Protein backbone atom coordinates (compact mmCIF):
# COMPACT_ATOMS: atom_id res chain seq x y z
CA UNK A 1 0.00 0.00 0.00
CA UNK A 2 1.30 3.43 -0.94
CA UNK A 3 1.68 6.13 1.68
CA UNK A 4 -0.54 9.06 0.58
CA UNK A 5 2.22 11.48 1.62
CA UNK A 6 4.34 9.99 -1.19
CA UNK A 7 1.80 10.72 -3.91
CA UNK A 8 3.32 13.12 -6.44
CA UNK A 9 0.07 14.13 -8.09
CA UNK A 10 -2.88 15.18 -5.96
CA UNK A 11 -6.24 13.50 -6.32
CA UNK A 12 -8.57 15.92 -8.12
CA UNK A 13 -12.26 16.12 -7.17
CA UNK A 14 -14.93 18.23 -8.87
CA UNK A 15 -18.50 18.84 -7.67
CA UNK A 16 -20.97 19.44 -10.51
CA UNK A 17 -24.44 21.01 -10.32
CA UNK A 18 -26.47 23.06 -12.80
CA UNK A 19 -25.03 26.57 -12.73
CA UNK A 20 -22.13 26.25 -10.27
CA UNK A 21 -23.52 28.88 -7.92
CA UNK A 22 -25.40 26.89 -5.21
CA UNK A 23 -24.92 23.19 -4.57
CA UNK A 24 -21.54 22.50 -6.17
CA UNK A 25 -19.74 25.43 -4.50
CA UNK A 26 -21.28 24.30 -1.20
CA UNK A 27 -19.80 20.85 -1.83
CA UNK A 28 -16.43 22.35 -2.69
CA UNK A 29 -16.34 24.41 0.52
CA UNK A 30 -17.58 21.60 2.79
CA UNK A 31 -15.24 18.94 1.41
CA UNK A 32 -12.29 21.34 1.49
CA UNK A 33 -12.97 21.95 5.20
CA UNK A 34 -13.26 18.20 5.89
CA UNK A 35 -10.01 17.52 4.03
CA UNK A 36 -8.21 20.22 6.03
CA UNK A 37 -9.47 18.64 9.27
CA UNK A 38 -8.23 15.23 8.06
CA UNK A 39 -4.80 16.57 7.06
CA UNK A 40 -5.45 15.88 3.37
CA UNK A 41 -5.76 19.41 2.01
CA UNK A 42 -2.35 19.23 0.28
CA UNK A 43 -3.12 15.86 -1.27
CA UNK A 44 -6.59 16.41 -2.68
CA UNK A 45 -7.60 19.35 -4.86
CA UNK A 46 -11.29 20.26 -4.87
CA UNK A 47 -13.20 22.49 -7.25
CA UNK A 48 -16.67 22.78 -8.73
CA UNK A 49 -18.42 23.46 -12.02
CA UNK A 50 -21.85 23.54 -13.61
CA UNK A 51 -23.43 21.68 -16.49
CA UNK A 52 -24.70 24.96 -17.96
CA UNK A 53 -23.12 28.26 -18.90
CA UNK A 54 -25.73 30.67 -17.48
CA UNK A 55 -23.68 31.80 -14.50
CA UNK A 56 -20.11 31.44 -15.82
CA UNK A 57 -17.90 34.11 -14.27
CA UNK A 58 -20.29 34.89 -11.40
CA UNK A 59 -19.87 34.44 -7.66
CA UNK A 60 -21.86 31.83 -5.77
CA UNK A 61 -25.46 32.65 -4.93
CA UNK A 62 -25.52 35.03 -1.92
CA UNK A 63 -27.92 32.66 -0.14
CA UNK A 64 -25.46 29.77 -0.54
CA UNK A 65 -22.63 31.94 0.79
CA UNK A 66 -24.77 33.16 3.73
CA UNK A 67 -25.76 29.60 4.60
CA UNK A 68 -22.14 28.45 4.58
CA UNK A 69 -21.03 31.39 6.73
CA UNK A 70 -23.91 30.83 9.17
CA UNK A 71 -22.64 27.28 9.66
CA UNK A 72 -19.05 28.26 10.33
CA UNK A 73 -17.52 27.88 6.89
CA UNK A 74 -15.28 30.49 5.33
CA UNK A 75 -16.03 30.35 1.60
CA UNK A 76 -13.32 31.83 -0.57
CA UNK A 77 -14.02 33.90 -3.65
CA UNK A 78 -15.84 31.81 -6.23
CA UNK A 79 -16.01 32.12 -10.00
CA UNK A 80 -18.59 29.85 -11.64
CA UNK A 81 -17.42 27.76 -14.56
CA UNK A 82 -18.92 25.16 -16.89
CA UNK A 83 -17.77 21.53 -16.93
CA UNK A 84 -16.81 20.23 -20.36
CA UNK A 85 -15.68 16.88 -21.73
CA UNK A 86 -12.06 18.08 -21.62
CA UNK A 87 -12.33 18.50 -17.84
CA UNK A 88 -12.44 14.74 -17.30
CA UNK A 89 -8.74 14.60 -18.21
CA UNK A 90 -7.91 16.75 -15.17
CA UNK A 91 -10.34 15.26 -12.63
CA UNK A 92 -10.16 11.89 -10.86
CA UNK A 93 -13.57 12.04 -9.17
CA UNK A 94 -16.56 13.95 -10.54
CA UNK A 95 -19.41 14.24 -8.03
CA UNK A 96 -22.84 14.94 -9.51
CA UNK A 97 -25.33 16.64 -7.20
CA UNK A 98 -28.40 15.03 -8.76
CA UNK A 99 -29.47 12.45 -11.34
CA UNK A 100 -29.89 15.10 -14.05
CA UNK A 101 -26.26 16.13 -13.62
CA UNK A 102 -25.27 12.46 -13.60
CA UNK A 103 -27.00 11.95 -16.96
CA UNK A 104 -25.42 15.05 -18.49
CA UNK A 105 -21.97 14.06 -17.24
CA UNK A 106 -22.37 10.58 -18.71
CA UNK A 107 -23.23 12.19 -22.06
CA UNK A 108 -20.12 14.37 -21.84
CA UNK A 109 -18.00 11.36 -20.85
CA UNK A 110 -18.89 9.72 -24.15
CA UNK A 111 -17.16 12.57 -25.98
CA UNK A 112 -14.07 12.73 -23.74
CA UNK A 113 -10.63 11.66 -24.93
CA UNK A 114 -10.88 8.55 -22.74
CA UNK A 115 -14.62 7.81 -22.46
CA UNK A 116 -14.16 4.77 -20.19
CA UNK A 117 -11.99 6.62 -17.68
CA UNK A 118 -14.32 9.62 -17.80
CA UNK A 119 -17.39 7.49 -17.14
CA UNK A 120 -15.62 5.68 -14.30
CA UNK A 121 -14.86 8.98 -12.57
CA UNK A 122 -18.53 10.02 -12.21
CA UNK A 123 -20.46 9.40 -8.98
CA UNK A 124 -23.53 10.81 -7.30
CA UNK A 125 -22.42 12.73 -4.22
CA UNK A 126 -25.10 11.24 -1.99
CA UNK A 127 -24.03 7.70 -2.89
CA UNK A 128 -21.52 8.34 -0.07
CA UNK A 129 -24.34 8.91 2.45
CA UNK A 130 -25.62 5.60 3.85
CA UNK A 131 -28.90 7.17 5.02
CA UNK A 132 -29.59 8.61 1.57
CA UNK A 133 -28.71 5.30 -0.09
CA UNK A 134 -31.02 3.39 2.27
CA UNK A 135 -33.83 5.86 1.55
CA UNK A 136 -33.18 5.71 -2.19
CA UNK A 137 -32.92 9.51 -2.24
CA UNK A 138 -29.63 10.40 -3.91
CA UNK A 139 -30.44 13.86 -5.29
CA UNK A 140 -29.61 17.13 -3.56
CA UNK A 141 -32.60 19.27 -4.63
CA UNK A 142 -31.82 22.59 -6.30
CA UNK A 143 -32.48 25.42 -3.81
CA UNK A 144 -32.08 28.20 -6.40
CA UNK A 145 -35.80 28.92 -6.92
CA UNK A 146 -36.61 28.54 -3.25
CA UNK A 147 -35.97 30.41 0.00
CA UNK A 148 -33.20 30.12 2.61
CA UNK A 149 -34.57 26.92 4.23
CA UNK A 150 -33.91 25.08 0.95
CA UNK A 151 -30.25 26.19 1.10
CA UNK A 152 -30.08 24.97 4.70
CA UNK A 153 -31.45 21.58 3.60
CA UNK A 154 -29.00 21.40 0.67
CA UNK A 155 -26.11 22.13 3.02
CA UNK A 156 -27.23 19.41 5.47
CA UNK A 157 -27.36 16.89 2.62
CA UNK A 158 -23.97 17.95 1.29
CA UNK A 159 -22.43 17.78 4.79
CA UNK A 160 -23.84 14.34 5.40
CA UNK A 161 -22.48 13.03 2.11
CA UNK A 162 -19.08 14.67 2.68
CA UNK A 163 -18.66 13.18 6.16
CA UNK A 164 -17.16 9.93 4.82
CA UNK A 165 -15.47 11.35 1.74
CA UNK A 166 -12.08 12.12 3.33
CA UNK A 167 -11.70 8.44 4.26
CA UNK A 168 -12.91 7.29 0.83
CA UNK A 169 -10.52 9.66 -0.92
CA UNK A 170 -7.63 8.70 1.39
CA UNK A 171 -8.16 5.06 0.36
CA UNK A 172 -8.07 6.07 -3.30
CA UNK A 173 -4.82 7.96 -2.72
CA UNK A 174 -3.30 4.98 -0.96
CA UNK A 175 -4.19 2.67 -3.84
CA UNK A 176 -2.28 4.80 -6.36
CA UNK A 177 1.08 3.70 -7.63
CA UNK A 178 3.70 6.39 -6.95
CA UNK A 179 5.49 7.94 -9.94
Q: Of the listed 17, 34, 104, 162, which one is catalytic?
A: 17
CB 48 within 8 A of CB 16: yes
The values of phi and psi at residue 47, to 5°, are: -145, -170
Instruction: Tell me whether residue 146 is exposed, middle or buried, using C-beta atoms within 10 angstroms of its C-beta: 0 to 12, 13 to 18, 19 or more.
Output: middle
**Known catalytic membership, residue 162:** no
Q: Of the listed 14, 22, 23, 92, which one is catalytic?
A: 23
**Known catalytic membership, residue 137:** no
DSSP type of residue 57: T
**Known catalytic membership, residue 114:** no
Q: Of the listed 92, 98, 139, 142, which one is catalytic?
A: 142
Q: What is the DSSP string of 73-128?
A: ---------B--GGGGGG-SEEEESSHHHHHHHHHHHTTSSSHHHHHHHEEEGGGG
Catalytic residue numbers, as ranges: 17, 23, 142
Amino acid sequence: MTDPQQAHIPLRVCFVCTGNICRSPMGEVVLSARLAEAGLADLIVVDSAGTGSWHVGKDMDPRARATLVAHGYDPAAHVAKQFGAEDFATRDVVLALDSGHLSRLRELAGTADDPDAAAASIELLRSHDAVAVAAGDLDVPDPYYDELPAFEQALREVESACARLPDVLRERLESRVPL
